[in-house]
Chains A and B, each alone.
Chain A
């Protein structure tokens, strides 16, 4: 467990149910500020489900139920009187497949800004540029900001989506296998980006790729069958895991 660092986000005995199916069991985890936490585990172990609890994405579908607590800046975000749209502007998310909106590159980014009530055109323009710069996309797209975002390559789309999420200045970013649909070069660009981003935001990343977790994360959590098996600093997890299950998974004996 992380030592006495500044804890940005933590869950306490969190369980999650799809209808009657329990997908997450009693998970307690602390996410230190300005760090990257990787969630690893075999397919269907509940890591994506767990991740989607942090921005209440499950609220979109009927019949889902949370149990336990998640604290974000010392506020329980699972409580009923939380403004979910406000929460989601503070906790951004990037999905497995790139999700550009059917509009131009710059409109994709200004969308979130406008949602947050920014109307001043020069401010929007500046923030579009700085968001694109911080996701290392500016040089590639600066001459075609008005063209449809769907014309970009997969890797560029994913960086655009990251820029879009960054533009609203979230404090936490949730990455749900952000590179699983990308080629190695785009993947390394996004990994570099994540390393850069952690100066500003706290990152939780779900990944199937253990090398990726080892490369970019400060802490690694291993989940299995909806339970958190082990959580420690990444170099400890990958060199000296305490649990037999984690060791078996990390060394590739199953999963």
Chain B
């Protein structure tokens, strides 16, 4: 009996500590979200989306340039990053499954996932910005794509590995060549997981500031030219939040609110895909 009571006490202590830890963690999360919501909503209006920034000291203005820039930079990053991520993941899970080079790429990609993004930014700076002599939207896209690639590569590999080998063997046994097995059978089995991974990796880069500071920099004017410096929400938030004017701060709050909302939507969509996948079985 004594031992049983001791065990119960130990159990309760463990539960208490983990509860406490999660409450502390959640508190700050909710605090941040609530604060952004509170400030963001109070400055949130249509002008934010349809007007370019007003010069310092003038009232009004919006962040149209930053929204458009963010869309273009992220969009191009997706177009560059996703194919590499998916094809790389396919190689690791299929053709390179038992090879040394496959394992090497896998390890390097794991390291890449945890590389600080500012390092990616400076890397692209020295590779694209310095030699070309100017900041550009392309450099921003490439640095974001570099952050995306290891994430999508890893999820693609994991999701494809979850498709049992017996399914592949069955497709081979029908006389399918390997590429058709991959495209028509393995991808179909892994598609929901891969899409989720893509959405999460988009959510991840949508909030990146550091790599853009060194690459696409910023632009107070609207620009659709990827060859030029380009505004982005995150860099603009950084600039406005650290700037001296109150209305800048207000706009930074509003922009933060929009970006968090977008990331939230992406993440929820990713989760829904997973739920959808498992309920359809």
Contact = CB atoms under 8 A, between A and B. Distances in A.
Main secondary structure of the interface of B (DSSP, over half): helix
Nearest to B186: A102
B27 interface: no
A88 B188 contact: no
Contacts of B171: 101, 111
Given A62-B98, A115-B180, A165 B174 contact: yes
B130 to A, nearest CB: 44
| Interface band, chain B | 20 to 34
B169 A115 contact: no
Contact of B173 (A62, A86, A93, A116): A93
Contacts, number: 68
B175 A115 contact: yes
B136 to A, nearest CB: 42
B174 A112 contact: yes
B172 A57 contact: yes
Contacts of B170: 93, 95, 99, 101, 161
B279 to A, nearest CB: 11
Interface in A81-122: 85-89, 92-93, 95, 97, 99, 101-103, 111-112, 115-116
B166 interface: yes
Contacts of B166: 95, 97, 99
B185 interface: yes
25 contacts: A55-B173, A57-B172, A57-B173, A85-B175, A85-B177, A87-B175, A88-B172, A89-B174, A92-B173, A92-B174, A93-B170, A93-B173, A95-B166, A95-B170, A95-B173, A99-B169, A111-B174, A111-B184, A112-B174, A115-B175, A116-B175, A148-B280, A148-B281, A150-B281, A164-B174
Interface of A: 55, 57, 60, 62, 85-89, 92-93, 95, 97, 99, 101-103, 111-112, 115-116, 148, 150-151, 161, 164-165, 168
Given A60-B172, A62-B98, A101-B188, 12 more contacts: A57-B172, A85-B177, A86-B175, A88-B172, A88-B173, A88-B175, A93-B169, A93-B173, A99-B166, A111-B174, A111-B184, A164-B174
